[in-house]
């Protein structure tokens, strides 16, 4: 087990207090950036580290920053703290337990693109976390780490929190911007991308909380050090959220490229009640379902190896399903989620999730006809590739990847009238 990077303060008492965080090199990386580095140097260092976006898309962070034009001002940085994917609870732990490390990362990103204002968009349910961040932002202003002319330079920065109000779609970056502007959280047509036309029509960087939290250690110890962790194409560490049918659910920080087996059995303590593992959903409800054979269990969790299994790593919210779980019931949950969260803008997503919800409810209610299984797949295929944002695609991943390998699960429900429990047999 290598040393923790993002969660290295897990055992430090009171690390959420400014004084304690500063005793652990807190804000030294930010000071170094502002006082000794040109903004472009910071971007280049992050590019060299190979850090990729941890919100799900895995886009190289430094490259994303370099897209901002330098003839259009002001620039904005927005932290995406809308953590809403079923099975994901890592950003919450970062912001609750080590808030200054996250704030320092946000401040470093802001300096790199010369933004003088940064917003943290939190899901509305994170009301208490937002209140905690507001307190810390006020402390940073008191301590001269936020505000005007930082460290005697001409650089100024203000950070603000903004609460959403319960909409998964606002985790999609263009919908997030719409919501931050006080509108319905519906995705924008792209291009133009937010890097050119973002918040209030200005160049904007949107980064996930975990992505930003990587920045203080990267600047402090250097890109070369960061690249020694993880794999060549997926450098660094990732927080894996382990949930579902597993003995020790929770957040586990691991180098990218660690196998599923290590996470599930060595750290997660295996499957409860001596049951066998059936399938893995590595990216929450948006996941393709991976049948958990030996090949899958020995697959390294990184941005290249998981797609080779026909799935995505996404935000690394690893949901474990044991042998007692019926896949039709799993789909009834994921499809219902996406039906509820579809913003209604694109017809294939709005109507398609509605009909998939009807069909899966019919199947688990024992009222389906044999042809409903094929109908479910057919509706899913009509959503595929026809929506503005990824939500429509997410809604069909589990459907398209589970009907074939687990068809028996669907067929055995056709004859049953009663539903004992929503997920298990």
For position 13 contacting another protein by CB under 8 A, the verdict is: no
Tell me whether strands 277-281 and 317-322 are parallel, antiparallel or unpaired: antiparallel
Which member of 72, 143, 308, 422 binds another protein (CB under 8 A)? 422
For position 73 contacting another protein by CB under 8 A, the verdict is: no
346 φ/ψ sector (left φ>0, alpha ψ -120 to 50, else beta): beta
What is the token pair recorded at 354?
């509605």
- Tell me how far, at minimum, the Cβ of 416 lies from another protein, in Å: 17
Measured distance CA(32)–CA(35) in Å, rounded = 5
Which member of 99, 164, 187, 392 binds another protein (CB under 8 A)? 164
Which member of 233, 275, 295, 340 binds another protein (CB under 8 A)? 340
For position 179 contacting another protein by CB under 8 A, the verdict is: yes
Which member of 45, 83, 210, 357 binds another protein (CB under 8 A)? 83
Which member of 106, 325, 356, 399 binds another protein (CB under 8 A)? 325
Residue entry with tokens 């957040």:
251
For position 213 contacting another protein by CB under 8 A, the verdict is: no
Which CB, 184 or 224, lies closer to another protein? 184
For position 162 contacting another protein by CB under 8 A, the verdict is: yes
Q: What pairs with residue 52 in β-bridges?
A: 60
Query: By CB under 8 A, which span of 3-11, 89-97, 103-111, 375-383 interacts with another protein?
Result: 89-97
Does residue 94 contact residue 102 with C-beta atoms inside 8 Å?
Answer: yes
Tell me whether strands 258-259 and 300-301 are parallel, antiparallel or unpaired: antiparallel
Closest among 339, 361, 258, 360 to 300, alpha carbons compared: 258
Residues of span 284-303 touching another protein by CB under 8 A: 285
For position 62 contacting another protein by CB under 8 A, the verdict is: no
Which member of 59, 151, 200, 225 binds another protein (CB under 8 A)? 200
Torsion angles phi and psi, residue 318, rounded to 5: -90, 105
Which CB, 56 or 257, lies closer to another protein? 56
For position 92 contacting another protein by CB under 8 A, the verdict is: yes
Which CB, 34 or 180, lies closer to another protein? 180
Residues of span 354-413 touching another protein by CB under 8 A: none
Contacts with 182 (C-beta within 8 Å, 6 or more apart), sequence order: none
What is the token pair recorded at 14?
């009171």
Residues of span 27-46 touching another protein by CB under 8 A: none
Does residue 372 contact residue 359 with C-beta atoms inside 8 Å?
Answer: yes
Q: What pairs with residue 4 in β-bridges?
A: none
Measured distance CA(19)–CA(12) in Å, rounded = 12
* Count of H-run helices and E-run strands, the chain: 19, 11
Site string for another protein, 221-260 (x = CB under 8 A): --------------------xxxxx---xxx---------
- Strands of the sheet with 76-81, listed across from one edge: 158-163, 117-122, 76-81, 204-208
For position 184 contacting another protein by CB under 8 A, the verdict is: yes
DSSP 171: G
- Tell me how far, at minimum, the Cβ of 311 lies from another protein, in Å: 16
Closest among 79, 6, 52 to 302, alpha carbons compared: 52
Which CB, 134 or 304, lies closer to another protein? 134
For residue 42, the surrounding DSSP H or E stretch is: helix 39-49
Which CB, 164 or 255, lies closer to another protein? 164
**Binding-site ranges for another protein (CB under 8 A):** 83-89, 91-92, 123-128, 160, 162-168, 179-185, 200, 241-245, 249-251, 281, 285, 317, 319-321, 325, 330, 333-334, 337, 340-341, 343, 421-423
């Amino acid at each position: 087990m290598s040393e923790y990077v993002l969660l290295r303060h897990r055992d430090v008492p009171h690390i959420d207090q400014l004084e304690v965080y500063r005793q652990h090199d807190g804000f030294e990386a930010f000071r170094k950036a502002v006082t000794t580095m040109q903004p472009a140097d910071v971007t280049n260092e992050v590019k060299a580290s190979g850090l990729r976006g941890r919100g799900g898309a895995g886009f190289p962070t430094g490259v994303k920053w370099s897209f901002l034009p330098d003839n259009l001002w002001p620039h904005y940085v927005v932290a995406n703290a809308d953590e809403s994917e079923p099975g994901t609870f890592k950003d919450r732990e970062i912001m609750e337990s080590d808030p200054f490390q996250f704030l320092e990362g946000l401040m470093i990103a802001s300096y790199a693109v010369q933004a003088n204002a940064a917003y943290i968009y939190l899901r509305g349910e994170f009301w208490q976390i937002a209140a905690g961040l507001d307190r810390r932002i006020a402390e940073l202003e008191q301590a001269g780490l936020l505000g005007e002319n930082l460290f005697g330079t001409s650089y100024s920065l203000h950070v603000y929190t903004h609460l959403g109000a319960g909409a998964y779609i606002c985790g999609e970056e263009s919908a997030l911007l719409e919501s931050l502007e006080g509108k319905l959280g519906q995705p924008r047509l792209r291009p133009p991308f937010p890097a050119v036309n973002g918040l209030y029509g200005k160049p904007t960087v949107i980064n996930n909380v975990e992505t930003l939290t990587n920045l203080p250690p990267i600047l402090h110890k250097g890109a070369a050090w960061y690249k020694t962790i993880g794999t060549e194409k997926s450098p660094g560490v990732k927080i894996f959220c382990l949930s579902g049918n597993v003995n020790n659910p929770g957040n586990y920080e691991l180098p990218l490229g660690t196998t599923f087996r290590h996470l599930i059995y060595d750290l997660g303590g295996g499957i409860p009640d001596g049951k066998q593992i059936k399938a893995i959903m590595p990216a929450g409800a948006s996941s393709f379902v991976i049948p958990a054979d030996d090949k899958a269990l020995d697959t390294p969790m990184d941005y290249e190896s998981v797609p080779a299994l026909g799935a995505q790593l996404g935000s690394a919210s690893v949901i474990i399903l044991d042998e007692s779980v019926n896949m039709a019931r799993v789909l009834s949950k994921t499809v219902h989620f996406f039906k509820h969260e579809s913003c209604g803008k694109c017809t294939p997503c709005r109507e398609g999730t509605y009909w998939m919800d009807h069909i899966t409810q019919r199947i688990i209610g024992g009222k389906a006809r044999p042809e409903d299984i094929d109908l479910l797949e057919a509706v899913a295929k009509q959503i595929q590739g026809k929506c503005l944002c990824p939500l429509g695609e997410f809604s069909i991943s589990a459907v398209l990847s589970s009907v074939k390998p687990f068809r028996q699960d669907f067929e055995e429900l056709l004859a049953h009238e009663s539903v004992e429990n929503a997920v298990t047999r």
